[in-house]
């Protein structure tokens, strides 16, 4: 996987576009969306070589969103290293993100092209479906980021609005990864649907966990600046939840956070999140989503692939990085 990503950006020109992409793609990262493509493919009996270009494409989509989101959010650090716009500049980061999306589509289309040229039959209907799923995820992630930006300027958002935002911004890409893997692996319509549902729930849990780690994480492990969401007035699960019940001085503090004036209050905000039970509520929500994700796979026959997916869900729920 990492080798494929390296090859994708190894020798491209001009350097002004490809050097930042090499920086962004060589900084590790969990590659969990790509991994999920491969695991979903395996769970339906597919083979890795066929699913690999799709996994690369999904990883391109994800890294594209990171590069552009970091520009929009003015985030200086990602995976413990300077972000592209911080190391180069905004123009370079915008362009590098754009280019990565083009490479993502090329990986999808080229993978199919190679399969056909290798004499393995005509273009599959599945390939068109994969492109549609990929493109819909691309649109949704932009719409989700739009809500996220819009919410930054608002005093409060409801839990329902928060949920729609993270669904679009995070969960749908992870759902698409699982769905694309199932399609690439030749899964049945039921398998494809089950894996998509699994990915969706996993994705929601993943984002809530991310919101929690912004407050309780350890920067060296997490790779992002702790308290970054607080500094920017992001409407996270914790903020939305805590605002539902906080009163008096706690409520006043949270209003300051919501208006983006909480950068120096991270420690106090954390106490309020704990005192109001928002941190516990997040943990319960993550647990519930993880259980639902796993139970969606119960119709799958027992297999090594399925066992890994179940374990994968648990690991994500407890992650610290």
Cβ pair 37, 70 in contact under 8 A? no
Question: Toward a copy of itself, which CB reaches closer, 150 or 314?
Answer: 150
**82 DSSP 8-state letter:** E
Cβ pair 157, 146 in contact under 8 A? no
Q: Can you name the residues that pair with 77 across neighbouring β-strands?
A: 82
State the minimum distance, in angstroms, from the CB of residue 262 to a copy of itself.
Answer: 20
Of 163, 157, 170, the residue nearest 258 (C-alpha): 157
Question: Toward a copy of itself, which CB reaches closer, 43 or 168?
Answer: 168
Question: Toward a copy of itself, which CB reaches closer, 168 or 272?
Answer: 168
State the minimum distance, in angstroms, from the CB of residue 303 to a copy of itself.
Answer: 32
Q: How many CB atoms lie under 10 A from the CB of residue 311? A: 12
Question: Toward a copy of itself, which CB reaches closer, 110 or 277?
Answer: 110
If 0-12 CB within 10 Å is exposed, 13-18 middle and 19+ buried, where does residue 94 land? middle
State the minimum distance, in angstroms, from the CB of residue 211 to a copy of itself.
Answer: 20
Binding site for a copy of itself (CB under 8 A): 12-17, 68, 71-72, 90-92, 94-95, 97-99, 101-103, 105-106, 109, 112-113, 123, 125, 127-128, 131-132, 135-136, 138-139, 142-143, 145-147, 149-150
State the minimum distance, in angstroms, from the CB of residue 72 to a copy of itself.
Answer: 4
Could you list the beta-strand ranges (E) of 67-221.
77-78, 81-82
Question: Toward a copy of itself, which CB reaches closer, 103 or 215?
Answer: 103
Q: Can you name the residues that pair with 78 across neighbouring β-strands?
A: 81
State the minimum distance, in angstroms, from the CB of residue 127 to a copy of itself.
Answer: 8
């Amino acid at each position: 996987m990492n080798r494929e990503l390296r090859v994708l950006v190894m020798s491209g020109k001009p350097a002004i576009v490809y050097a930042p992409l090499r920086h962004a793609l060589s900084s590790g990262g969990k590659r969990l969306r790509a991994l999920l493509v491969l695991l979903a493919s395996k769970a339906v009996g597919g083979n890795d070589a066929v699913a690999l270009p799709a996994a690369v494409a999904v990883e391109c989509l994800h890294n594209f969103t990171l590069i552009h989101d970091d520009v929009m959010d003015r985030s200086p650090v990602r995976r413990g290293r300077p972000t592209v716009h911080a190391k180069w500049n905004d123009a370079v980061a915008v362009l590098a993100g754009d280019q990565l999306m083009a490479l993502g589509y090329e990986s999808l289309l080229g993978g199919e092209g190679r399969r056909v040229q290798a004499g393995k039959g005509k273009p599959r209907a599945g390939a068109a479906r994969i492109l549609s799923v990929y493109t819909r995820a691309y649109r949704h992630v932009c719409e989700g980021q739009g809500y996220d930006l819009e919410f930054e300027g608002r005093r409060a958002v409801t839990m329902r609005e928060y949920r729609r935002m993270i669904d679009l911004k995070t969960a749908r890409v992870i759902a698409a990864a699982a769905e694309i893997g199932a399609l690439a692996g030749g899964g049945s319509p039921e398998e494809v649907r089950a894996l998509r549902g699994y990915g969706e729930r996993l994705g929601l849990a993943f984002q809530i966990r991310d919101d929690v780690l912004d407050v309780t994480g350890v920067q060296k492990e997490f790779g992002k600046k702790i308290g970054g969401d607080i500094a920017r007035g992001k409407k996270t699960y914790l903020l939305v939840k805590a605002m539902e019940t906080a009163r008096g001085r706690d409520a006043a503090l949270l209003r300051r956070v919501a208006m983006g004036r909480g950068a120096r209050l991270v420690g106090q905000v954390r106490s309020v999140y704990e005192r109001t039970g928002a941190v516990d509520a997040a943990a319960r929500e993550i647990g519930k989503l993880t259980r639902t994700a796993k139970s969606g796979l119960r119709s799958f026959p027992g297999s090594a692939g399925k066992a890994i997916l179940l374990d994968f869900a648990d690991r994500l729920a407890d992650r610290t990085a």
